[in-house]
Structure 1
Amino acid sequence: MTFFARIRLVTLVLMLLGLVVAPLCAQKLGPDGAPNPDASVTNQRTLLEQVPRIQGRIDIPDVKASVLMQPMGRTWDYFHEVLLHWGGAIVIVGTIAVLALAYLIIGRIRIAAGRSGKKIVRFKAFERFSHWLTAVSFVVLGLTGLNITFGKIVLLPLVGPEVFSEISEVAKYTHNFTSFAFVAGLFIIMVIFFKDNLLARVDFEWLRQGGGFIKNRHAPAGRFNLGEKMVYWLSVAAGIAVSASGFVLLFPFYGTNIADMQLAQAAHAIVALLFIALILAHIYIGTLGMEGAFEAMGKGEVDLNWAREHHDRWLAEQLEREGGRPSATPAE
């Protein structure tokens, strides 16, 4: 080997050593003589402030697996573990408190003329089936969903980690599969009750007269009053929102990324809590809040005087359709 060839070889070796040693030398040593990571060219804080995530390169075609660290995950964790807990508790407990206060102040709305002893059909069997299919599945989804949010706080200290783990596993699968029944019931309700829930002129009169909550005053209404129509439309909107976001969570990363999944989970949780508050009010009116209301969906028939006081326009249409004689049956 010539002298110049040796010079070139030594130079090449030194260059290679420089590529390896230079990054190590770039780190300043701490008091104990170990490299100080905070003195690196890019420190941890700088990395954490990167938006939306820190991502590397991988050989498999799974983009989410290349995410090394996602600072937005801390924001999502704060929402799920702090904001959602407090917000959800305020919404649920606040709704129950308002309903309890309404019961104490207004009391139960009675049938002013008393029961007539005759009943008239208000909901047919299929209509009641669709309602109860949606209602029962909603209750199951609500309870199992609340376990996801509040289970670690409320249930875990009572039953212990092992039992809570088993309950949560069953609740998870119950929640997932019950969602299909809820979507089916919601779709049926949307179709069969759509026409009756369109806005009408009588709704403004119902609102002007206090919606039937003023004693000794019966607000006019068709088959559904404005309050019931609002519950219908809000339930449809909330039902579509929780169903869409729920299926994104049920089938993760099908056309979505990590940020999309976090957004879907947040939307699902917020809408579900507001939905529960709405249905709590609906349940109150249909049970404790108004005499005779539960019979409409419970048995399909209501007392004639109840229909006259709360849905007089609908009753008049029924009587006219049947030639002035209601298809009423004596009360048992």
Structure 2
Amino acid sequence: MTFFARFRLATFVLALLAMSAAAPAFAQKVGPDGAPNPTASVTSERDLLRQLPRVEGRLDIPDTKAGVLIQPEGRTWDYIHEVRLRWGGAIVILGTILVLGAAYLIIGRIRISAGRSGRKVLRFRALERFSHWLTAVSFVVLGLTGLNITFGKVLLLPVVGPEAFSSISQAAKYVHNFTRAAFVVGLVLITVIFFRDNLLKKVDIDWVRQGGGFIKLKHAPAGRFNLGEKLVYWLSLVAGVAVSVSGFLLLFPFYGTDIAQMQLAEVVHTLVAILFIALILGHIYIGTVGMEGAFEAMGTGEVDLNWAKEHHDIWLAEQLKKERGPGQPSVTPAE
């Protein structure tokens, strides 16, 4: 056999071996009928799974995060959202309700010791009440629609069914997104209007020493707001900023954030919102059934004179001092 004949034979054998090795890959790119399959993957599933716990693909668009198919942080986030936050949120909210119920049964409603005087003192003006109720109503709407994300599949879905739950959740999402604007406006108003009155003062230490008004034999002095109310103000302000910023990141996903930062924003948003709800539950309790005469302050803007003496005596003294000057008197006979 001549040299050229041997060379042709060796070339033919190498070609056959190359075609045999490429056959599996080619088979992945054609359908059962032999036609090319444009959706076939260039990389086999086995090769992708070898990259676990993180799997990324190749893209023709300049969006690297869209190529992430599997990531270990995603599993962690899913566990936190579906298990930790759900159970933790239930414990915090239900625990708060149980504590407030026990407080009502043990302490009862804090009454006006001297009884109602029949005279009223202006405590909150119209703009102050508007900012409070704007924030309060929007917070309740945000709380209910937001809790549906965490607890809806467990509590609401089995009751109303998949189709109704889907419609309710979609409507809740839109209501939640648009209501946040009203909440932010109310939060800004409350911050500006009540900032000076909520700065810490020396009298706040005396308020704590005297039991904060919960010990009937002691009188706890206070200005316009006592230390408890100031703590609610500052905690609400911090929580309000936290849920607003994290909510903004969730409303406009991936604008300056990556996948890990979006997951962190969702966890922070949910966790702070749950703690915020627990705080406001205590605030609602004190302002309604927990203390006689407290709701009137934000309801009509006026409080009974004896209520003001018992809970905000320093502020009342300042109001009475202003009354002796020019202008309308702030203390008038009750109707």
Both proteins in one fold, TM over 0.5? yes
Residue 300 of structure 2: aligned partner: 299
Query: Structure 1 residues 114, 22: closer, same or farther in 2, change over 3 A?
Result: same
- For the residue of structure 2 that corresponds to 1:112, the secondary structure is coil
Residue 174 of structure 1: aligned partner: 175
Residue 158 of structure 2: aligned partner: 157
Residue 22 of structure 2: aligned partner: 20
Query: Is 2:48 the partner of 1:47?
Result: no
What amino acid is the match of 1:298?
G
Residue 29 of structure 1: aligned partner: none
Cα distance in 2 for residues equivalent to 1:209 and 1:19? 87
Query: Is 2:136 the partner of 1:135?
Result: yes
What amino acid is the match of 1:205?
D
> Structure 1 residue 288: deviation in Å?
0.7
Residue 257 of structure 2: aligned partner: 256
Residue 105 of structure 1: aligned partner: 106
Query: Structure 1 residues 137, 209: closer, same or farther in 2, change over 3 A?
Result: same
- For the residue of structure 2 that corresponds to 1:114, the secondary structure is coil
Query: Structure 1 residues 190, 161: closer, same or farther in 2, change over 3 A?
Result: same
Cα distance in 2 for residues equivalent to 1:136 and 1:178? 10
Residue 328 of structure 1: aligned partner: 331
> Structure 1 residue 323: deviation in Å?
1.9
Which region of structure 1 is more displaced relative to structure 2, 275-284 or 210-219? 210-219
Unmatched 5+ stretches in structure 1: 25-39
Residue 285 of structure 1: aligned partner: 286
> Structure 1 residue 216: deviation in Å?
3.2
Cα distance in 2 for residues equivalent to 1:125 and 1:195? 18
Unmatched 5+ stretches in structure 2: 27-44
On the 8 A contact 2:119/2:334 being kept in 1, the answer is yes
> Structure 1 residue 42: deviation in Å?
6.4
> Structure 1 residue 256: deviation in Å?
1.2
Residue 69 of structure 1: aligned partner: 70
> Structure 1 residue 57: deviation in Å?
1.6
What amino acid is the match of 2:52?
L
Residue 245 of structure 1: aligned partner: 246
> Structure 1 residue 61: deviation in Å?
1.8
Cα distance in 1 for residues equivalent to 2:208 and 2:329? 28
Cα distance in 2 for residues equivalent to 1:230 and 1:78? 33
Cα distance in 1 for residues equivalent to 2:171 and 2:315? 45
- For the residue of structure 1 that corresponds to 2:284, the secondary structure is helix
Residue 196 of structure 1: aligned partner: 197
Deviations 1:227-251 (A, max 9, x none): 0000000000000000001011111
Alignment of structure 1 residues 194-233 onto 2, 5 Å = 194-233=195-234
- For the residue of structure 2 that corresponds to 1:307, the secondary structure is helix
Residue 91 of structure 2: aligned partner: 90
What amino acid is the match of 1:248?
L
Identity of aligned residues (%): 70
On the 8 A contact 1:115/1:304 being kept in 2, the answer is yes
Cα distance in 1 for residues equivalent to 2:260 and 2:189? 33
What amino acid is the match of 1:20?
A
Cα distance in 2 for residues equivalent to 1:304 and 1:163? 51
Deviations 1:130-177 (A, max 9, x none): 000000000000000111111111111111222111111111100000
TM-score of the two chains, using structure 2 as the length reference: 0.87
> Structure 1 residue 13: deviation in Å?
3.1
What amino acid is the match of 1:174?
V
Residue 36 of structure 1: aligned partner: none
Cα distance in 2 for residues equivalent to 1:12 and 1:298? 92
Residue 34 of structure 1: aligned partner: none
> Structure 1 residue 12: deviation in Å?
6.3
Residue 35 of structure 2: aligned partner: none
What amino acid is the match of 1:13?
A
Cα distance in 1 for residues equivalent to 2:55 and 2:160? 39
What amino acid is the match of 1:155?
L
Cα distance in 2 for residues equivalent to 1:168 and 1:41? 38
Cα distance in 1 for residues equivalent to 2:260 and 2:48? 24
On the 8 A contact 2:323/2:330 being kept in 1, the answer is yes
On the 8 A contact 2:48/2:55 being kept in 1, the answer is no
On the 8 A contact 1:124/1:300 being kept in 2, the answer is yes
Cα distance in 2 for residues equivalent to 1:253 and 1:330? 60
Cα distance in 2 for residues equivalent to 1:329 and 1:175? 43
On the 8 A contact 1:112/1:216 being kept in 2, the answer is no
Alignment of structure 1 residues 119-130 onto 2, 5 Å = 119-130=120-131
What amino acid is the match of 1:48?
L
On the 8 A contact 2:55/2:70 being kept in 1, the answer is yes
On the 8 A contact 1:318/1:326 being kept in 2, the answer is no
> Structure 1 residue 55: deviation in Å?
1.4
- For the residue of structure 2 that corresponds to 1:48, the secondary structure is coil
> Structure 1 residue 119: deviation in Å?
0.4
TM-score of the two chains, using structure 1 as the length reference: 0.88
Query: Structure 1 residues 302, 80: closer, same or farther in 2, change over 3 A?
Result: same
What amino acid is the match of 1:123?
F
> Structure 1 residue 5: deviation in Å?
6.6
- For the residue of structure 1 that corresponds to 2:51, the secondary structure is helix
